């Protein structure tokens, strides 16, 4: 449609004074009020069943787990093989941190930049060909800036070539429990055979935090400047979720937008993996929403400490008449907050035990149940060694049991 100016100009082209007067009159009129711009509505996902009801999840793959207990709070296609894009750089960093821990690599050591690293596309740290770069700078280049070039510098220094480094990634992945991952490069660059699962990414995140507490701090850094170019950390949780301190984003056309993230509050840590989201905004909103949901809806409940005696169990023909039954470790469960008032805890075991009994031997189980609460079972173990009575002390015990009919 023609504008008002073009219509007037076309019909009254010979009367410029009228046009000028019309423009002046238009300027005196108050401008029409523009309606307030409303944020675009959040895209709807699919409902995912959880212990506290259905949760809408837009991600193609998603997993939320409690760090301490390993409890799965939410999962969607968590074992589906997917392109992990730059989230697979977590595996590259695991190998780098492992070399540092072993003393086979040093933070202040410098590594050369090959032409292949310099030419690498995608996100970059912007290293120069032939430059010598400190390992510590390369680590920040990978973690904060997601630099593909930095990954290749590290890969070539450790294994000689990126292909050889990929073999090292696969061997290390198998060793730490990644059962459904295959690495073809150090960066997450698109390759039909480069695949991980959300569950493997959560395991990898957990191992990074547990195995390298001195190096994990790099993941919380908000920005890094190299070659006079400052780049911000792409992890949206760092700015949006209290307690967030890592880990890594990813994006390719095939994979969509993804994030492996972690946050800790009041001594409780949650790990989250999402992938296949349509935009950076969707990634930021969904990861924040699911992380806040995990902290809001669930809590860690410690039922017994490692050496607390749950119950004394009778022992037949033992040097001691009872053995303490313990958890062997802190018995902590991640449970919905609404279950607190409905929990019922029971201890099940066979008695009496027959000596000998070995410390750490499983002798019973703790069952947690209640109205609307699925039954959870935790093994209980012997807290001491109980040796068998000698032949002569055994005779009265056998006779006593026979007389009593026990």
- Other C-beta atoms closer than 10 Å to the C-beta of 32 total 6
**3-class secondary structure for the chain?**
CCCHHHHHHHHCCCCHHHHHHHHHHHHHCCCCCCCCCCCCCCCCCEEECCCCCCEEECCCEEEEEECCCCCEEEEECCCCCECCHHHHHHHHHHHHHHHHHHCCCCCCCEEECCHHHHHCCCCCCCCCCCCEEEHHHHHHHHHCCCCHHHHHHHHHHHHCCHHHHHHHHHHHHHHCCCCCCECCCCCCCCCCCCEECHHHHHHHHHHHHHHCCCCHHHHHCCEEEECCEEEECCCCHHHHCCCEEEEEEEEECCCEEEEEEEEEECCEEEEEEEEEECCHHHHHHHHHHHHHHHHHHEEEEEEECCCCEEEEEEEECECCCEEEEECCCCEEEEEEHHHHHHCEEEEEECCCEECCECCCCEEEEEEEEECCEEEEEEEEEECCCECECCHHHHHHHHHHHHHHCC
Distance CA 192, CA 197 (A): 14
Residue among 59, 85, 123, 146 flagged as catalytic: 146
86 assigned to active site = yes
Residue among 89, 123, 202, 287 flagged as catalytic: 89
146 assigned to active site = yes
Q: How many secondary structure helices (H) and strands (E) does the chain include?
A: 11, 19
388 assigned to active site = no
Name the token pair of 238. Answer: 């760092």
Residue among 59, 86, 186, 262 flagged as catalytic: 86
* 208 within 8 A of 94, measured Cβ to Cβ: yes
Name the token pair of 171. Answer: 């061997």
The catalytic residue positions are: 86, 89, 146
């Amino acid at each position: 449609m023609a504008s008002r100016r073009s219509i007037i100009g076309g019909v009254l082209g010979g009367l410029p004074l009228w046009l000028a007067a019309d423009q002046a009159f238009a300027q005196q009129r108050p401008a029409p009020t523009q309606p307030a711009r409303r944020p675009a509505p959040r895209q709807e996902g699919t409902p995912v069943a959880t212990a506290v009801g259905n949760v809408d999840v837009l991600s193609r793959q998603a997993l939320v787990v409690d760090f301490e207990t390993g409890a799965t709070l939410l999962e969607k296609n968590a074992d589906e093989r997917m392109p992990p894009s730059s989230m697979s750089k977590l595996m590259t960093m695991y190998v780098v941190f492992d070399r540092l821990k072993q003393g086979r690599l040093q933070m202040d050591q410098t590594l050369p930049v090959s032409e292949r690293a310099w030419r690498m596309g995608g996100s970059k740290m912007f290293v120069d060909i032939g430059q010598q770069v400190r390992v510590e700078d390369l680590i920040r280049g990978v973690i904060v800036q997601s630099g593909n070039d930095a990954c290749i510098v590290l890969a070539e220094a450790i294994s000689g070539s990126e292909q050889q480094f990929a073999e090292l990634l696969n061997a290390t992945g198998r060793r730490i429990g990644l059962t459904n991952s295959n690495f073809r490069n150090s960066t997450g660059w698109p390759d039909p055979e480069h695949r991980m699962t959300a569950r493997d990414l959560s395991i990898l995140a957990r191992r990074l935090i547990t195995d390298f507490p001195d190096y994990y701090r790099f993941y919380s850094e908000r920005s890094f400047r190299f070659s006079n170019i400052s780049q911000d950390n792409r992890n949206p949780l760092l700015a949006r979720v209290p307690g967030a301190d890592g880990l890594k984003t990813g994006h390719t056309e095939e994979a969509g937008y993804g994030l492996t993230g972690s946050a800790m509050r009041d001594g409780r840590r949650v790990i989250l993996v999402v992938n296949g989201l349509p935009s950076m905004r969707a990634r930021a909103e969904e990861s924040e929403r699911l992380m806040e949901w995990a902290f809001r809806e669930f809590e860690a409940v410690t039922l017994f400490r490692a050496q607390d005696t749950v119950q004394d169990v009778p022992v037949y023909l033992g040097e001691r008449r009872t053995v303490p039954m313990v958890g062997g470790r802190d018995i902590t469960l991640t449970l919905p907050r609404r279950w607190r008032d409905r929990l019922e805890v029971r201890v099940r075991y066979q008695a009496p035990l027959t000596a000998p009994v070995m410390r750490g031997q499983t002798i019973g189980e703790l069952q947690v149940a209640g109205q609307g609460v699925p039954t959870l079972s935790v093994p209980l173990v012997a807290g001491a060694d109980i040796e068998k009575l000698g032949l002569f002390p055994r005779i009265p015990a056998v006779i006593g049991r026979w007389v009593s009919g026990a």
